[in-house]
A and B are shown apart, each in its own frame.
Chain A
Amino acid sequence: MTELLARLPETTAAHLGLSLAALTLGVAVAVPLGVMAARQPRLAGPLVGVASVLQTIPGLALLAFMVPVLAALGLTSIGVLPALLGLFLYSLLPVLRNTITGLAGVDPAVREAALGVGMTPRESLVQAELPLALPVILAGIRISATWTVGTATLATPVGAPSLGSYIFGGLQTRNYAAVLVGCAASAVLALMIDGLLRALALGLERRRRRVTTASLAGLLGLGAIGASPAVCTLGTRDEAPIVIGAKTFSESQILAQVLAGRITEQTGDAVRTVDSLGSTVVFDALEHGQIDAYVDYSGTLWTTVLGRGEPRPGRTELLDEVGRALAEERGVHVVAALGFENTWVLAMPRAQAERLSVRRLGDLAPHAPRLRMGGDYEIFQRAEWAALVTAYDLRFAEQRTLDPSLMYEAVRSGQVDLVAGLSTDGRLAALDLVVLEDDRAVMPPYDAVILASERLRRERPDVIAAMRRLAGTIDDATMRELNRRVTEAGESPAAAAAWFLGRPLPP
């Protein structure tokens, strides 16, 4: 917890910087657009329409969508840029709508008087209409600010540091204090910005110069605090020569720390880790050189990344084929297999398994229509799930998508009857869940493999060599223990990795 709190100031600053930058851009674009729309009512409909559609896209989806878009444009596709762009789009609607409404609400007599005293349309806009619409526009900016600060927590999965890392990380490790810290800090930021904007509105309206200046100074101050870290990460790549990625679950984060620790130990180079990237975001990032390495699983690469299906070769052949195909088709290199397999498994509480006498997936079909199934964000979308359901003829009473930690909580408290989890998850043993045997071998093998970027392979053979020495060093039991340390014992991924690296290397 103290370790978490130590990072809070810089994370908050980064969050602040990201939100304010997006908001500033949003205002800079939406106000002129609103003015145009107010002048040409034919534009208003389409503009508000587009902004409304952007607004209805769930925040996480919008941010995640920026990753392939930026990658297609050949720009930095993970990190601050996609988050900034997504949040910017998200911030447009309230400002745009309020600018149009505010200008439309100006008394026509005042507009006519402005022309009557000799103003040009532009002078009328600047000296009469905008000042009169200002309270409404500022109200729009306040709504936008609150949304942007809240939604910025979703910047974590696209690789931008934000308070979301407390929320996502906390959910992973069942550290609800961290979740609370993340939410509270983001709420405090939102309230602060909102308060300052309200003071600004009041100061301008009542002509209290001191209130206006103070609130502007406050906003600028927040901007300055936010600018320091944000600007640093905005560049194409940052100061650390090597960047290791991780997916949103703790195993991936532990392994990223293991890679980072091993590389630093062997080469002395600074290594940065980017946590909580979306499952496909992370591969895109590697392919486009935004990160240098991360750990993925052979089965995932086979189906999700390479889009291969049946017939499927055996475990070793599949690993070889994945390595060859990734190198040829995607310019990504398999450095080593770590030694353990982490496959998707279906598991249910022991008591229930015994009552139903279910031991294998083959036994499950007759019971499925009365069972409620819990899965994480991915499983139901995956090709393997479709294959599994067809092969074993499984039709569940209900399928619920849950955050992994909530999923285990749900099966513990009997709110779902079985779960689809990962075989190395420490919680399977901790909750005494029976893993149902995949008796027809439908699931592909899921060997954990270290993937490296083309750049790293070309430029840093020493780093590749350092990672290769991890080959075969983590068996199933070791991985489960590492996971247990984080999800059950509350250690940080870095601490768990340090425990592992402190052990003697095999000769």
Chain B
Amino acid sequence: MIRLIDVTRRFGDRLAVDRVSLDVAEGESLVLIGGSGSGKTTTCKMINRLVEPSAGRVLVDGQDVAHQSGPRLRRRIGYVFQRLGLFPHMTVAENIGVTPRLLGWDADRVRVRVRELLELVELDADAVAERRPDSLSGGQAQRVAVARALAAAPPVLLMDEPFGALDPLTRERLQGSFERIRRELRLTVVFVTHDMIEAMRLGDRIAVMSDGRLVQVGTARQLYEAPVDATVRELFAAPRRQARLIESRLERGAP
């Protein structure tokens, strides 16, 4: 469904993404994981042409995106931004309905669709539909951003650390909702995170990035059993260290 072939992106003389090749099958969820500045966001934005590659090709549904109109392409690809980017001057309902309106849906159809989506992301339509984004809690805003990305029923969804700024409980709940939605709608997903637990929970496969390069791609088990380098090994080590720390503290009867 999504294919990156030797994709490179330079900003000045800095290589943000360096010869990345990647395939995401239809209905698959691929998680991009890596440290800050490793090129995850840039890779994502090259898929819907928010950023143009300096070299290499990107295919979506078999078609080279470079030959498609950017706006039309992006109406077929849902995108949840790292910083959400909800429109502050629009209500929640208007935010969610924005892409369908761009596609020329009539007002009634948009209204029905907005209701459906609010239900899908488990928000109370009557309570939030007419509110402005700045009056929402962080978790509610995240749900609205996901609803907006899904509004025009895109087959492909790009999610850039959508749950990054949430408390662990809310995050877990949202991960659960998202997992359900993704399977219900059979979405093809590229999901960016730097949290290995989230990656294992939501990704069919995991792609590890470091310094703009793709280090290794595979299922969690493959990465765990045959890590190509220390970066990959460390991804599993850190959460386990944390878990052990918690257990040992509690066993020792710490306050």
Contact among A109, A119, A128 for B71, CB-based, below 8 A:
A119
Complex alpha-carbon distance, A119 and B48, angstroms: 13
Indicate if the CB atoms of B74 and A109 lie closer than 8 Å: no
Q: Is B40 an interface residue when CB atoms closer than 8 A count as contact?
A: no
Q: Is A123 an interface residue when CB atoms closer than 8 A count as contact?
A: yes
Complex alpha-carbon distance, A299 and B126, angstroms: 84
Q: Is B99 an interface residue when CB atoms closer than 8 A count as contact?
A: yes
Bits for B161-179, please: 1 = Cβ < 8 Å to A, else 0. Answer: 0000000000000000000
Bits for B5-49, please: 1 = Cβ < 8 Å to A, else 0. Answer: 000000000000000000000000000000000000000000010
Q: Residues of B contacting A115 with CB < 8 Å?
A: 50, 70-71, 74
Stretch of B83-91, B190-198, B220-228, B235-243 with 4 or more beta carbons under 8 angstroms from chain A: B83-91
Report if A118-B86 is in contact (Cβ < 8 Å); known contacts: A109-B81, A112-B50, A123-B102.
no
Contact among A112, A118, A120, A128 for B81, CB-based, below 8 A:
A112
Q: Chain A nearest CB: distance from B9 CB in Å?
A: 16
B75 — nearest CB in chain A belongs to which residue?
A118
Q: Residues of B contacting A53 with CB < 8 Å?
A: none
Among A107, A118, A128, which residue has the most Cβ atoms of chain B within 10 A? A118
Q: Is A110 an interface residue when CB atoms closer than 8 A count as contact?
A: yes
Indicate if the CB atoms of A132 and B71 lie closer than 8 Å: no
Indicate if the CB atoms of B85 and A113 lie closer than 8 Å: yes
Complex alpha-carbon distance, A112 and B85, angstroms: 8
Q: Is B2 an interface residue when CB atoms closer than 8 A count as contact?
A: no
Q: Is A116 an interface residue when CB atoms closer than 8 A count as contact?
A: yes
B152 — nearest CB in chain A belongs to which residue?
A118
Indicate if the CB atoms of B71 and A118 lie closer than 8 Å: yes
The interface size bin for chain A is: 10 to 19
Q: Chain A nearest CB: distance from B93 CB in Å?
A: 13
Q: Residues of B contacting A109 with CB < 8 Å?
A: 81, 83-85
Q: Residues of A contacting B99 with CB < 8 Å?
A: 117-118
Q: Residues of A contacting B89 with CB < 8 Å?
A: 128, 131-132
Indicate if the CB atoms of A110 and B71 lie closer than 8 Å: no
Q: Chain A nearest CB: distance from B74 CB in Å?
A: 4
A110 — nearest CB in chain B belongs to which residue?
B85
B154 — nearest CB in chain A belongs to which residue?
A118
Q: Residues of A contacting B81 with CB < 8 Å?
A: 109, 112-113, 116
Q: Residues of A contacting B72 with CB < 8 Å?
A: 118
A118 — nearest CB in chain B belongs to which residue?
B75
Report if A110-B87 is in contact (Cβ < 8 Å); known contacts: A116-B81, A118-B72, A119-B102.
yes
Interface majority SS on A: helix, strand, loop or mixed?
A: helix
Q: Chain A nearest CB: distance from B58 CB in Å?
A: 16
The interface size bin for chain B is: 20 to 34
Bits for B97-123, please: 1 = Cβ < 8 Å to A, else 0. Answer: 011001100000000000000000000
Q: Residues of A contacting B98 with CB < 8 Å?
A: 117, 119, 127
B80 — nearest CB in chain A belongs to which residue?
A116
Q: Is B148 an interface residue when CB atoms closer than 8 A count as contact?
A: yes
Contact among A116, A123, A131 for B48, CB-based, below 8 A:
A116
Contact among A116, A119, A132 for B79, CB-based, below 8 A:
A116
Bits for B120-160, please: 1 = Cβ < 8 Å to A, else 0. Answer: 00000000000000000000000000001000100000000
Indicate if the CB atoms of B79 and A120 lie closer than 8 Å: no
Q: Residues of A contacting B74 with CB < 8 Å?
A: 115-118
Indicate if the CB atoms of A113 and B48 lie closer than 8 Å: no
Indicate if the CB atoms of A116 and B71 lie closer than 8 Å: no
Within 8 A of B (CB), among A27-61: none
Complex alpha-carbon distance, A119 and B79, angstroms: 13
Within 8 A of B (CB), among A105-162: 107, 109-110, 112-120, 123, 127-128, 131-132
Q: Chain A nearest CB: distance from B76 CB in Å?
A: 8
Q: Chain A nearest CB: distance from B135 CB in Å?
A: 13
Report if A132-B85 is in contact (Cβ < 8 Å); known contacts: A116-B50, A117-B98, A118-B72.
no
Indicate if the CB atoms of A128 and B50 lie closer than 8 Å: no
Among B75, B79, B148, which residue has the most Cβ atoms of chain A within 10 A? B79
Contact among B85, B88, B152 for A116, CB-based, below 8 A:
B85
Indicate if the CB atoms of A120 and B71 lie closer than 8 Å: yes
12 A-B pairs within 8 Å (CB atoms) are namely: A107-B85, A109-B83, A110-B88, A112-B81, A116-B50, A117-B79, A117-B148, A118-B103, A119-B71, A123-B71, A123-B102, A132-B88
* B residues apposed to A, CB below 8 Å: 48, 50, 70-72, 74-75, 79, 81, 83-89, 98-99, 102-103, 148, 152
Extra contacts, 15 of them, besides A109-B85, A116-B50, A116-B79 (Cβ < 8 A), are: A107-B85, A107-B88, A110-B87, A112-B50, A114-B85, A116-B48, A116-B74, A117-B74, A117-B98, A118-B72, A118-B75, A118-B152, A123-B71, A131-B89, A132-B89
List 6 A-B pairs, minimum CB-CB distance, nearest first: A113-B85, A118-B75, A118-B74, A116-B79, A109-B83, A109-B85
